[in-house]
Amino acid sequence: MNGNEAAAAPQIETITILVLGPMRQVQGGHIEVEDRTAGLKVLVEHIARDLEPEAGQAGRKVAVIAPENRTRATIVPGVLDLIESAHLVILDLTGNRANVTYEAGIVHALGVPCIILTSDAQPPFYFIGADYIGRFHYAQAFDADQVTHRDLQRYLRRFIADPTLFADNQLTAYFELPIVDIAGPSGLAAGYYRNSIRRFVRRQGFVASAREIVWPGRLEVKDGVETRRPETRPMTVAHYIAVRPPGNLRQSGGHAGQLADVLKKRGLRTEFAALRRLPDDFADARDFVGPFLARDTPRDQPVAFIEPGIIIEIPTTLYALPFSPRVAKRLGLAPPARAIAEARLFAQMQASFERNLDFLLHKDPEVEDPRPFHWTDLAALPALLNELGARG
| 294/352 same-domain check | yes
The whole-model pTM stands at 0.78
| 331/313 same-domain check | yes
pLDDT in tens, 162-178: 888 888 888 888 888 88
Q: At what angle do helices 255-264 and 381-388 cross, to 10 degrees?
A: 50
Q: What is the mean pLDDT of residues 176-202?
A: 90
CATH of the domain at 50: 3.40.50.2300
Could you give the CA distance from residue 81 to residue 193 in angstroms, rounded to a whole number? Answer: 26
| 206/156 same-domain check | no
1, pLDDT greater than 50: no
| 98/22 same-domain check | yes
125 within domain boundaries: yes
Query: What is the model's pLDDT at position 16?
Result: 92
Q: What is the mean pLDDT of residues 30-50?
A: 88
Q: What is the mean pLDDT of residues 298-325?
A: 91
363 within domain boundaries: yes
80 within domain boundaries: yes
48, pLDDT greater than 60: yes
Between 344 and 31, the higher pLDDT residue: 344
> Which residues, including other chains, have CB under 8 Å from residue 15's CB and lie 6 or more apart?
55, 60, 61, 62, 63, 87, 88, 159, 160, 163
263 within domain boundaries: yes
**Final residue before a domain boundary, out of 174, 203, 224:** 174
| pLDDT, averaged across the chain | 88
| 168/198 same-domain check | no
pLDDT in tens, 236-287: 999 999 999 998 888 778 999 999 999 999 999 999 999 998 877 767 778 9
327, pLDDT greater than 90: no
pLDDT in tens, 217-228: 777 777 778 777
Burial of 103 (0-12, 13-18, 19+ CB in 10 A): buried
Q: What is the mean pLDDT of residues 144-155?
A: 96
Query: What is the model's pLDDT at position 74?
Result: 62
Q: Which residue, among 89, 63, 78, 1, has the nearest Cα to 32 in the 3D structure?
A: 78
5 within domain boundaries: no
| 161/24 same-domain check | yes
| 268/289 same-domain check | yes
Query: What is the model's pLDDT at position 70?
Result: 57
Percent of the chain with pLDDT over 70: 93
| 168/294 same-domain check | no
| 167/189 same-domain check | no
Query: What is the model's pLDDT at position 73?
Result: 55
243 within domain boundaries: yes
| 255/156 same-domain check | no
Query: What is the model's pLDDT at position 279?
Result: 74
Neighbours of 216 (CB within 10 A): 16
Strand residue runs (E) in 236-308: 237-243, 268-275, 288-295
Could you give the CA distance from residue 197 to residue 370 in angstroms, rounded to a whole number? Answer: 9
pLDDT in tens, 101-149: 999 999 999 899 999 999 999 988 888 778 899 999 998 899 999 999 9
| 216/143 same-domain check | no
Query: What is the model's pLDDT at position 6?
Result: 47
Range of the domain at 215: 184-388
Could you give the CA distance from residue 20 to residue 93 in angstroms, rounded to a whole number? Answer: 9
**Final residue before a domain boundary, out of 146, 174, 202:** 174
Between 37 and 331, the higher pLDDT residue: 37
**Final residue before a domain boundary, out of 113, 142, 174:** 174
Neighbours of 124 (CB within 10 A): 17
- Rounded (5°) CA angle 151-153-157: 120
179 within domain boundaries: no
Specify the number of domains making up the chain.
Answer: 2
6 within domain boundaries: no
| 130/235 same-domain check | no
Indicate the helix (H) or strand (E) that contains 91: strand 88-92
